[in-house]
Every structure is written in structure tokens, then in C-alpha cells.
Amino acid sequence: MPDDTKDASTLLNLESLIKSYLSKLENLKASLKEQKEIYDNSFESDAVYHENAEKAKEAAMVKNATRLQILKQPALMELSEKISDIKMDIKEAEDTLSDYLIQYQKETGFNQIETDDGQTMIIVNRAKLVKGSK
């Protein structure tokens, strides 16, 4: 079998496997949704649970109102902004590191890197499917 035919066959088999697993995931997600609805409805139909859930909802509203009142303090508002900024910095640093790791893999062919403290770290890539426009 010529290499081009073998490569095409391998690619078609891989594509078929991807589509098969995509279909399997969709079916599993639908089944999970159905089972979760049945599960959740079991609680909602119980009078005692429903009454306690309402009490918990009221308590949560009081808690949130108190929290919002406390958050109006200038020191806490500033701290909240600092936390948000740090979270954004972490996300940006993770994205940049990911780009550098992909570049490192492409240029070296290695899937691991040693840190300054001698620890070997494995580079892990994760791919997923998202709907595209037609």
C-alpha cells in the first residue's frame, strides 16, 4: 500500500474515531441531563426538603445583604480589586506560559522541561472541539 493511501486511511480512521466519540459524548451528556432532572425532581417534590430549601434561600439572602454591606468598606473594596487584578495576572501568565511551552515543544521536540529546582515537569496539551461557523 503506498504511503499516501496508508496516510489517508489512517486519517479517515482517526476522523471516524473522533466522530464516534463525539457522538458518544453527546449521548452521555443527554443521558446525564435526563438522570439529573429525575434526581433533582425527587428533592423538589419532597415537602420537608422544599420548606428547608426556602429557609436556606432566605438565610442566603440575609447573608448576601450583610456581605454587600461589609464590602462597602473602602479597605475591602481595594482588597477585592487587588484580588481581581492578581487573578487576571495569573490567567495572562498561564496563557503566555502555555504559548511558550508549545513553542518549546515545536522547537525542541521535547515533552518535558526541568525547572530551576531540578524538578522535571511534563508538558501536557489538551484539545477540545467547539462549534464553528459554517
pLDDT value, residue 79:
95
Instruction: Name the β-bridge partners of 24.
Output: none
Cα–Cα distance, 68 to 77 (Å, whole number)? 10
> Which residues of the chain register pLDDT less than 70?
1-2
Residue carrying the nine cell digits 495569573: 90
* Cα–Cα nearest to 102, from 129, 123, 130: 123
Instruction: Name the β-bridge partners of 117.
Output: none
pLDDT in tens, 29-47: 999 999 999 999 998 889 9
pLDDT value, residue 132:
85
pLDDT value, residue 1:
56
Query: In the chain, what are the domain boundaries?
Result: 23-72, 74-117
Residue 13 three-state SS:
helix
Q: Residues 94-98: contacts with CB within 8 Å, 24+ apart?
A: none
pLDDT value, residue 10:
87
pLDDT value, residue 2:
65
Q: How many CA atoms lie less than 13 Å away from 124 in the CB half-sphere?
A: 4
